[in-house]
Chains A and B, each alone.
Chain A
Amino acid sequence: MTNGAVVEVEGLWKDYGPLHALADVTFEIGKGEVFGLLGRNGSGKTTLLRILTSYRLPTAGSVRVAGMDLIGQSRAVRRRIGYMPEHPQLYADLTVRGLLRFVGNVHGLSRARQKSRIEELATHFGLGAVIDRLAGHCSKGYRARISLAAAVIHEPAVVFLDEPTDGLDPEQRHQTHELVRQLSEGSTVVLSSHDLDEVGALCSRALVLDRGRIAKMGGIDELGGVSGIAEVFRQTHERDRGQEP
């Protein structure tokens, strides 16, 4: 594996019974990259992110994140990552401030550091208006931003974002894109999406998953830009249609 890679995945498999959700996936992500995970629904993007964040264990293969083995040192890995799940669900009975404090506490931030980080994030992510409201009762746009703030409160080395703009209106999408750009100044960002324009605009490299396997991988330009990636999608779609009875 290359020196300086922040995420190293080798021969990764995830089986659900007879179904291979991921099959022999191998790739690396370098420090400071914004890396896109692309694929149609059910292609394995979320499964891959769930394994990379140690939410689920792989069936086989090895993963190193921030230089540490994901299985043997999973807690140490989780200290260095932030994760914004798809459709983030937040604790309904905690205020936004309470939720950020909870996450900060678990990450071992001192009380003073928590306070300053919460103020910074509230300003940065535009959460001032809802900071003392119950997190679970906020609008979808706010929930996405709160989840993102919770993912980065401890300034992680790698941030994993699973379809961060799904269901957001154009203005909220634009704001989220700006936040991802700002995040990438200090952290490596792994972004899962099926929005090709989003990946084209934000990512330096991308990986296209198809039925749990890597269909294409490389720099956005190497993949032929958004139109080149769209062609990969079209081919997989055509193939699947051809297999339909």
Chain B
Amino acid sequence: MRAVLTVVRKELTGLFASPIAYIALTAMALSMSLFFLDNLKAFNTQIMLLQTRTAFNQIGAGMMPPGLNLFEQVLLPTVTETALVLLAVIPLITMGMFCEERTRRTDELLLTLPLSHTQIAAGKFLATFVFLVAVVAIAALLPAISAAHTELDMGPILASLAGLLLLSFALASIGLLCSALADSQLVAALSAYAISMAILDFSWMMEFTGDTADRVLQYLSLMTHMGGFPRGIISLGDIVYFSGLGLGGFLLARVSLALERIN
């Protein structure tokens, strides 16, 4: 475990020494603020319109139309938009993790140290996950500030953050695998982005497939498994899906490291 933590520390030092980490954190903070405030503003406008209408008609006062609530109007779209930002940002964080070792030829030092492939891969994956916790913590700031000033049901908010974390880990695993396979960081980032975009939502493919394939494609789509979190639902199926993607990426990256020794 000590060896893995040593690799984690080295990777985090490297991440925070590069501008990419700060660009990712800033992009996340900015986009989250914009999405959250924009959705909140739209929600407030609808509430004001509704209040004006009920005051004018003097009927239905105190009644909210279905679907007009903080979760449907603010939290759900913010989580979806944040997921899209993560999809763009995570390949930038992961692209150098394995690939840079090869291009800078520091892998000669790393692979001749008494570290197993599992320890190296685990160190790199854990460091990325720790960084992503910081990224998602930024996403948690605005709901946390809102919660401090009003009464909010924290269940869906916490579930949404858990969903974003699981999504981040799955996207990071795809990115890390691409970094382990590619010879250039640009190729690693672009291929991770392309794969993530492709599996984000397979509904475009369902026009050409039958019922059984539709069900499989729907299960494989990332967004299918994100829907429950903003409603406060954390299902075992979704956890298994995201963990499976993460574990698959980790194992394949580990195999790719082992294969490198054969070359």
* Interface positions of A (Cβ within 8 A of B): 50, 53-57, 75-76, 78-79, 81, 83, 85, 87-94, 98, 102-103, 105-108, 147, 150
**Residues on the A chain within 8 Å of B111, using CB:** 54-55
**Chain B interface mostly:** helix
**Residues on the A chain within 8 Å of B112, using CB:** 53-55, 78, 81, 83, 85
* Interchain CB contact under 8 A, A89 and B13: no
* Interface positions of B (Cβ within 8 A of A): 2-3, 6-7, 9-10, 13-14, 17-18, 104-106, 108-109, 111-116, 261-263
* Interchain CB contact under 8 A, A103 and B113: yes
28 A-B residue pairs with Cβ-Cβ distance under 8 Å, sorted by A, are A50-B108, A54-B112, A55-B111, A55-B261, A56-B261, A56-B262, A57-B262, A78-B114, A79-B114, A83-B112, A85-B109, A89-B106, A89-B108, A91-B14, A91-B109, A92-B104, A93-B13, A93-B14, A93-B18, A102-B6, A105-B6, A106-B3, A106-B6, A106-B115, A107-B113, A107-B114, A108-B2, A147-B109
A-B contact number at CB 8 A? 74
* Interchain CB contact under 8 A, B113 and A90: no
**Residues on the A chain within 8 Å of B18, using CB:** 93
* Interchain CB contact under 8 A, A90 and B114: no
| A76 to B116 alpha-carbon distance, docked (Å) | 10
**Residues on the A chain within 8 Å of B7, using CB:** 106
| A90 to B110 alpha-carbon distance, docked (Å) | 10
Residue of B2, B106, B113 near A91 (CB, 8 A) is: B106
A56-B113 contact in complex given A89-B104, A89-B105, A90-B106, C-beta closer than 8 Å: no
| A92 to B10 alpha-carbon distance, docked (Å) | 11
A57-B114 contact in complex given A89-B106, A91-B14, A106-B6, C-beta closer than 8 Å: no
Smallest CB–CB gap between B97 and chain A, Å? 13
* Interchain CB contact under 8 A, A56 and B10: no
**Residues on the B chain within 8 Å of A78, using CB:** 112-115
**Residues on the B chain within 8 Å of A107, using CB:** 113-114
**Residues on the A chain within 8 Å of B113, using CB:** 78, 103, 106-107
Find the residue from A50, A53, A91, A94 having the highest chain B CB count within 10 A: A91
* Interchain CB contact under 8 A, A150 and B115: no
